[in-house]
Each structure stands twice: as structure tokens, then as C-alpha cells.
Amino acid sequence: MSSRCRVPKEKNRGMASGPYNSFDASSITGYCRVMRSLAIASLALTLLTNTTAAQSLDLQSLLESELAAFPATAGVQVKHLTTGVEAGVRADQDFSTASVIKLAFMVRAYRMVDQKLLDLDERITLTRAHLRHGTGVFQYHDAGLRPTLRDAITEMIITSDNTATDLVLMKIGGPAAVTRWLGDSGYPRLASYGRPHDYRRDLLAMIDPALATLTAEETSALMYASDRNPLFDRYAGLFTGSRAKWIEVVRDPANRQRLARERDRRTSTDRKYWLGSMTPGDAARMLESIERGTAASKVSCEAMLLALRRQQLGSRRLPHFIDVPVAHKTGDGGTIANDVGIIYARSGPIVVAFFANSVTGSYGEAEDRIGRLGAKLVEYFDGGR
């Protein structure tokens, strides 16, 4: 770059007289300094842009290599929020969310809190009819427990509590309302397909069509019976007379095997049995908006991040091999191993949205592979920090 500064010709002509007669030597020197600064800034921006683009290409290669060997249909989106470097593999493909859809439920709930449509301090008295089969701790407590709505949102995230999830989901309008809100909020590919018991009832109906009209309470009861879970004792009174045979049906070894087989296959491949649908790219955008404080109010976003930081599940996934904090939400069931979150690397937050459907082979090994990818991303962005 030449060190010589050329003053615009029209200004040269005006130096002797006219409106530019004050454009003297000192003005020329100042003008030249400004132009040099602009040129340096432009060069720096170009170099930064080229560096970011090169890093994105390197990151893309890393992700493609990892997913090529992953034992599942997998997709991922990664973005370093400080540098803007990002890449993805199958980032625009729809995946079965399993419990990752609960991230969207949380955002929706806190937006409604900001709008004064929900009260986090409202207490809900739990009865047997509220309890849902699957993950979570509320199902193990005595009837009459009175958690706040805030407690329910927290348990929905940190233990993926299905009882809490159903309470929150119905407070925010149900699956159809959530799907409409997602579309209105810039997420047209995201969808909530049903309540936690819906696909379980549909699975039970595959082994006996008479079970297609089960209530949520009856569905939970028969799933406990199939699992031979002692929690079924609470529901024994619901299945007397002609209904008693249903217990034998769901406990039949052949039916239990079919139930597990159909669950593993359909929750990954058949949308009727999905809790929701997400793309890795959209999940990453939602996480970024929470981290940047734009998903809801700043206070609400801080509360959401706190819940994600308190995650009790998925220790073999993103956090497994790293020594920095992770705020994340898992989704699993059958052959699904999803994990989406924010890794607080020393170089800045890294958003990672990883979806794995139809996992084959060792489920634990699939989880560990997600953990090893988390470690490689930290090493990639932090280097020797």
C-alpha cells in the first residue's frame, strides 16, 4: 500500500481561494491520517473476514468427519458467538426432538411471564391424574405436592420431568398453540406434535386396539404395569372387571418386546410418534437468542440459562470430557440421543445443537461420541488457552 496521500483534485483547486481556502497543510496532514486509518481498518476487516471464513471451512471439515463415523442419522450446527465462526452438517434437516422440544416450551412460558400471562409463583396441586410415565421426579412424590410453575419449568428442563412438562405445555396453550407461536416467532420448521402420553397411548394401541381411547392417567398406569414399576399399585383400582385383562396384555413378554421394538423405530422415523420436530440450525438459533438475551426479557433469559446450567441428565454427552460449564437440554428415548446447549469455552460461548436419531450399536458409545465432539470443539476454539 502506497504511503503517499493524494488530496482530491477539487480540493487542490480550492486551496488558493474560494470555499477551500482554509484547507492548508495541516488539513492535508489530517486528511491523510484519516484516509490511512480507513485503509488500515478496511484491510483489517478483510483479513478478519477471510480468517473467519477459513475457520468456518476448517470447522465444517471437523464436523463432517465426526458425523461420517457417527452410528446414527445425525445433524449438527455449531456457532462460536464471539467470533461468529459457524458450520453445520444436515443443519436444515428435520429431526425427532424427543425432550429437546421442552426448550421451546420454556421459551414460550417465559415470554408469557414477561407478558403477565403466567405467574411463576402460582402453585399447582398434583394429583394422580397429573402424573406421567417416563423421566422426572414428580411421579415419585405423594399426591398433594404443590410445586410452583417455576418449579415445574425447572424440573421440565433439569430432569426432563414429563409430569412437569405436561403441566407447562397445557399452561402455554398445548401443542397446536405452541406450533403456531413457533411459526410466528420465526421458526416455521419447528413443531410440537403432542403431549407426553399421546405417543405412548398410540404404541399401546398397536398391541391392543381397545387401548386407543385411554386417558392420560390410564396410559401412564399401563406403561407402569408394562415396566412392572411399583408405581402401578396406585392405579390398580382403575383396572377391574373386564379391564383387568389389559394388565396381562401389556405384561405379556411378546407384547413388551413389540412395544420396545416399535418405540425404538417409530420415535425416530414416524412423526406420529414424535414429541416434536426441530432442525439443528433452528435449535442453535434459539439457544443463541437465549444467550444473547433476546429470546425474552433479560431477566427471563437469565432464568432460562440458569435452568439449563443445572441440567442433571446427559452427563455423557456435551459435558463429558470438558472442564468448562455447559448449559444444555437433552432428548432421548429408544434410539434417540440429542443434546443441544451452550459450552462456555474460555474463548467465548459455543452453541452446539446435536441431533442423533436411529442410533445403532452401543447407545453409551453414541453418547460418548457427542462428548468427544464437545471436547474437540473446545480444543478447536480455545487452543492452548
Q: Which of 72, 97, 64 is nearest to 357 (CA)?
A: 72
Do 165 and 196 form a contact (C-beta atoms < 8 A)? Answer: yes
Which one has a higher pLDDT value, 100 or 45? 100
Q: Are residues 207 and 184 in the same domain?
A: no
Span 223-253, pLDDT tens digits: 999 999 999 999 999 999 999 999 999 999 9
Q: Are residues 154 and 98 in the same domain?
A: yes
Q: Is residue 40 part of a domain?
A: no
Q: Are residues 62 and 181 in the same domain?
A: yes
Span 50-59, pLDDT tens digits: 556 768 889 9
Report whether pLDDT(363) > 70.
Answer: yes
Query: Residue 187 has which C-alpha cell?
Result: 421458526
For residue 115, which phi and psi values (nearest 5 degrees)?
-85, 5
Q: Are residues 144 and 283 in the same domain?
A: yes
Report whether pLDDT(34) > 70.
Answer: no
Q: Which of 271, 292, 308 is the last residue of a domain?
A: 271
Predicted local confidence at residue 52, as pLDDT: 66
Q: Which of 271, 299, 329 is the last residue of a domain?
A: 271
CATH number of the domain that residue 119 is part of: 3.40.710.10
Q: Are residues 224 and 177 in the same domain?
A: no
Q: Are residues 213 and 126 in the same domain?
A: no
Q: Are residues 119 and 222 in the same domain?
A: no
Helix (H) or strand (E) holding 10: helix 9-13
Report whether pLDDT(38) > 90.
Answer: no
Predicted local confidence at residue 39, as pLDDT: 58
User: Mean pLDDT, to the nearest integer, of 60-84?
Assistant: 98
Report whether pLDDT(334) > 70.
Answer: yes
For residue 351, which phi and psi values (nearest 5 degrees)?
-85, 130
- Amino acid, res. 133: H
Q: Which of 236, 271, 306 is the last residue of a domain?
A: 271
Domain that holds residue 186: 57-195+275-382
Cα separations (Å) of 168 from 118, 144, 164, 174?
10, 18, 6, 9
Span 102-155, pLDDT tens digits: 999 999 999 999 999 999 999 999 999 999 999 999 999 999 999 999 999 999
Q: Is residue 346 part of a domain?
A: yes
Q: Is residue 283 part of a domain?
A: yes
Q: Is residue 35 part of a domain?
A: no
**Structural domain count of the chain:** 2
Q: Are residues 296 and 255 in the same domain?
A: no
Report whether pLDDT(166) > 80.
Answer: yes
